[in-house]
Chains A and B, each alone.
Chain A
Amino acid sequence: MTVPAIRLEHVGKSFALDGGKQFTALSDIDLSIGKGEFVALLGPSGCGKSTILRLVAALEAPSSGRVSIEGADPQALSRSHRLGVAFQDHALLPWLDVRANVALPFQVAGKKVDTARVEELIRLVGLSGFEKARPRQLSGGMRQRASIARALALQPEVLLLDEPFGALDAVTRRQMNVELQRIWSAQRITTLLVTHSVDEALFLADRVIVMSGRPGRIIRDITVPFERPRKPSVMRDPAFHQLVDELTLALEPEGEAE
């Protein structure tokens, strides 16, 4: 493996609940993600996969252990505007049009808006012609495209995607997966994708990390063997199906699997 871009060492995270109880979301997580690697975190809801992403984004601090990005504190990455994020809730600003939303990271970073870059990204995510549309005038899929374009605006070193297509219907979701694969292949940014869809994880990622919940821990770490660029036809490959079955089984709660 190459030099790790993202590293989690013995990371634990617990939250205080009402009534003084502690809820352990993550316990003893060890994870290394190489530079330019696309890693998918797969697991049932509540397994702590989003918590890992929030730790990497420096939106939460670990209760124990250490999170580092290129050897430094994760905050250093966001403070120097080298992090891109997209969430399940597109989180576009409703008062700005698509172009202004995609240009937002430049303004937040205090940089001059690179209009050529903004136009290029809008074209890349297939939103040409919708530059002046406001988020509420767009469909769910289009909002997510705009949200991903915004995440890519500053050519980030790390891209974090938290269920970006979780709220979309199955057909749109598959289409967005194909497009994200195309966009990612053009940029090859170190990416961490949180998802509960086995197909999505296998189609997009170089490595799939399977987690189980309460407390969240890693139970499987598999390398996806398919060549890039991947075409949708890969999803009909028998090897793909076999991996889907294997991971689906791994996701089943212990004790209930036969």
Chain B
Amino acid sequence: MTARSDGLQRFMLGLVGIGLFLGMWQVIGVYRLAGLTWPPLTDVLAFITDPSKQTLFGRAITASFSAVITGYGLGVVAGIALAMLGRVVAVLKPGLDRLIAVIHAIPLVALAPLFMVAANRDATPPSIAALGVFYMIYVATTSGLNAASATHRDVFTALGASPVTRFMRLELPAALPAIVSGMKLAIPVAFIGAIVGEWFGASRGLGLLMVSAMQNFQIPLLWSAVLIVTASSLALFGLMSLVERLTYGRYQ
């Protein structure tokens, strides 16, 4: 009962916080407190919902979302697969760890121009997204695969488990909470990767829209693109938080 009212209280406080934030945005915009480049929230919403802008936003959203989804999917699959490979073929593990640490040490932004010239320009946003997501998922899966307790391992040894059985029935299920947490944290990374990739000259997408709006001083358009990206990223992050909570409830 108290847990529920605590949860409700936190939820209400969260709503109040969001309300205050949006209210301040509106007030600053209406009274021009931050100058002309800060439009009121209602103006931005009206701009987004304007029927004449639907094709523009529709095309950009489709392009950016397919970059996010492709990059996220590739990154998740590759991250889990390589972490599993490092686990199964133990000889590869130190090399894989080092290689992936080196790749991660290179700023993604520095890689984008390379992708631009080396690959198709529309392949850059999903590639950058995939790289960021991949690193996060690789690290999460690697640590998750070590999560099974020593006693659990002893029980499997005493029961005469083969390495495959141990992996499938103990290590992989025990890794699931860590993998899901990684997948949650990778959502904003996928958006950052896709948008940064688009800045460098993709042919369409919300990132491209932002750059051209900024350069042409189309303030409502710029804010609209930012708002759409932020809202989508937050919504998916919230969805993954829910999945994470369900997984933790079941697997821990």
Contact = CB atoms under 8 A, between A and B. Distances in A.
B152 A93 contact: yes
Nearest to A80: B160
Interface residues of A, number: 25
A44 B251 CA distance: 35
Given A91-B149, A104-B169, A108-B165, A81 B154 contact: no
A58 B157 contact: yes
B250 A59 contact: no
Nearest to A82: B160
A78 B157 CA distance: 7
A107 B169 contact: yes
B156 interface: yes
A135 B150 CA distance: 18
Interface string B127-169: 0000000000000000000000101101111111110010001
Given A89-B151, A95-B250, A108 B157 contact: no
B252 A59 contact: no
B160 A81 contact: yes
Contacts of B159: 78, 81, 83, 85, 104-105, 108-109
B170 interface: yes
Binding site of B, secondary structure by majority: helix, strand, loop or mixed?
Answer: helix
Nearest to A81: B160
A94 B252 contact: yes
B248 to A, nearest CB: 10
A244 B227 CA distance: 76
Given A89-B149, A95-B173, A59 B154 contact: yes
Nearest to B152: A91
A15 to B, nearest CB: 15
A57 B158 contact: yes
Interface in A107-165: 107-110, 134, 160
A109 B252 contact: no
A87 interface: yes
Interface string B75-108: 0000000000000000000000000000000000
A79 interface: yes
A109 B156 CA distance: 10
B155 A109 contact: no
A108 B151 contact: no
B160 A93 contact: no
B160 A85 contact: no
Contacts of B252: 94
- Closest 8 interchain pairs by CB? A91-B151, A85-B158, A89-B151, A78-B160, A108-B159, A81-B160, A108-B161, A95-B251
Given A89-B149, A107-B165, 8 more contacts: A54-B154, A57-B154, A78-B157, A78-B159, A85-B154, A87-B151, A108-B156, A109-B159
Interface of A: 54, 57-59, 78-81, 83-85, 87, 89, 91, 93-95, 104-105, 107-110, 134, 160
30 contacts: A54-B154, A57-B157, A58-B158, A59-B154, A78-B157, A78-B158, A79-B160, A81-B160, A83-B158, A83-B160, A84-B158, A85-B154, A85-B155, A87-B154, A87-B155, A89-B149, A91-B149, A91-B154, A93-B152, A94-B252, A95-B173, A95-B250, A95-B251, A107-B165, A107-B169, A108-B161, A109-B160, A110-B162, A134-B250, A160-B158
